[in-house]
């Protein structure tokens, strides 16, 4: 039976996929302005939620919470940059290297062990990234670097969520990301503001709303279980994105890109099964 943490993560992945579509619809709005509107909605929703449940806003491990927020801002901004220009599924798949960085960084941050076989699966996934770029002129080297940067800082952020599992309420962890993002995005937006028009307002609101749902379920998932055992389930987001990208934006993908996506997901799935095998063997 699928664990509670895995259920939460799949829900988070679904809502993040809807958020990605919303962001792509406002491709003409500067990235940091999108971050600003998303953060404004999320910080308001989180504040109201915390007040309703009578939970302190500021948490206990403030340095970890602030770092989680800062790393999350960097990851989000880099991902939005890639998402607005590159094909939906390609951008999402590159960013989904984050489970790899999560597991590698977990070795140093939360002291989780990583085996040599797992590193082999990681190499397979990184070869997949090269394949995605190989034959798709829509993906520039700058977008590729931004996507990998986003995945790296996501990995840092996820591990800090794990580090606060025993000290913080999930909603407090969610609250800190838009709290840190809001002032940073305001500075950038002041110098490069584009007035949203018509349906832009709808998609900016939906980006914030779907983010709030995704963040909440993601935090609950990572506080439920070991980082390396469930974060890999994010690969389902690639399937959501390919379907939504084709149905909404009529995006198609060259053979090399599809092969790259398969390699990335294959490496991640291989790690999932290996992790389960080790866990079962230790239990026996």
CA 259 to CA 97: how far, in whole Å? 15
Q: How much is the pLDDT for 182?
A: 95
Which residues have C-beta within 8 Å of that of residue 133, sequence separation ≥ 6? Answer: 139, 141, 144, 260
CA 153 to CA 69: how far, in whole Å? 10
Q: How much is the pLDDT for 123?
A: 86
Q: Read off the tokens for 170.
A: 């999930």
Its pTM stands at 0.81
What is the torsional sign of CA 84, 89, 91, 92?
positive
Which residues have C-beta within 8 Å of that of residue 219, sequence separation ≥ 6? Answer: 161, 170, 171, 173, 174
Helix (H) or strand (E) holding 139: none
Q: How much is the pLDDT for 277?
A: 75
Q: How much is the pLDDT for 43?
A: 93
Q: Read off the tokens for 69.
A: 């927020």
Low-confidence spans in the chain with pLDDT less than 70: 1-2, 110-111, 135, 222-235, 282-284
Q: What is the dihedral of CA 108, 151, 78, 144, to 10 degrees?
A: 130
Burial of 262 from C-beta contacts in 10 A (0-12 / 13-18 / 19+): middle
Burial of 245 from C-beta contacts in 10 A (0-12 / 13-18 / 19+): buried
Q: How much is the pLDDT for 234?
A: 66
Q: Please count the residues of the chain.
A: 284
CA 67 to CA 73: how far, in whole Å? 10
Instruction: Report which of 75, 37, 68, 72 is spatially closest to residue 188, judged by C-alpha positions.
Output: 37
Burial of 188 from C-beta contacts in 10 A (0-12 / 13-18 / 19+): middle
CA 106 to CA 83: how far, in whole Å? 27
- 103 and 112 in contact (C-beta within 8 Å)? yes
Query: Mind listing the pLDDT tens digit for each residue in 204-244?
Result: 999 999 988 887 787 777 666 665 556 566 667 777 888 88
Which alpha helices (DSSP H) does the chain contain, by range?
A: 4-25, 31-52, 62-85, 88-95, 98-109, 116-134, 141-163, 170-191, 200-224, 227-230, 236-249, 255-283
Neighbouring C-beta atoms of residue 240, cutoff 10 Å: 19
Which alpha helices (DSSP H) does 192-254 contain, by range?
A: 200-224, 227-230, 236-249
């Amino acid at each position: 039976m699928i664990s509670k943490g895995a259920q939460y993560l799949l829900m988070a992945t679904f809502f993040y996929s809807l958020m990605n579509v919303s962001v792509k619809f406002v491709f003409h709005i500067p990235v940091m302005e999108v971050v600003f509107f998303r953060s404004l909605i999320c910080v308001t929703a989180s504040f109201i939620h915390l007040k309703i449940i009578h939970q302190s806003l500021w948490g206990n491990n403030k340095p970890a919470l602030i770092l989680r927020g800062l790393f999350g801002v960097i990851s989000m901004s880099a991902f939005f940059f890639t998402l607005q220009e590159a094909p939906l599924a390609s951008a999402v798949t590159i960013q989904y290297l984050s489970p790899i960085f999560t597991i590698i960084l977990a070795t140093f941050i939360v002291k989780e062990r990583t085996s040599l076989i797992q590193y082999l699966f990681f190499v397979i996934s990184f070869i997949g990234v090269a394949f995605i770029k190989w034959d798709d002129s829509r993906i520039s080297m700058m977008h590729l670097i931004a996507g990998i940067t986003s995945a790296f800082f996501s990995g840092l952020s996820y591990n800090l969520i794990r580090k606060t599992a025993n000290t913080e309420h999930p909603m407090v962890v969610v609250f800190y990301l838009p709290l840190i993002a809001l002032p940073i995005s305001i500075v950038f937006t002041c110098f490069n503001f584009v007035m949203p028009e018509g349906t832009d307002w709808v998609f900016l609101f939906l980006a914030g709303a779907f983010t709030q749902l995704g963040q909440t379920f993601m935090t609950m998932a990572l506080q439920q279980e070991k980082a390396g055992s469930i974060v890999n389930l994010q690969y389902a987001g690639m399937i959501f994105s390919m379907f939504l990208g084709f149905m909404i934006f009529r995006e198609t993908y060259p053979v090399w890109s599809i092969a790259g996506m398969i390699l990335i997901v294959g490496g991640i799935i291989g790690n999932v099964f290996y992790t389960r095998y080790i866990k079962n063997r230790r239990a026996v």
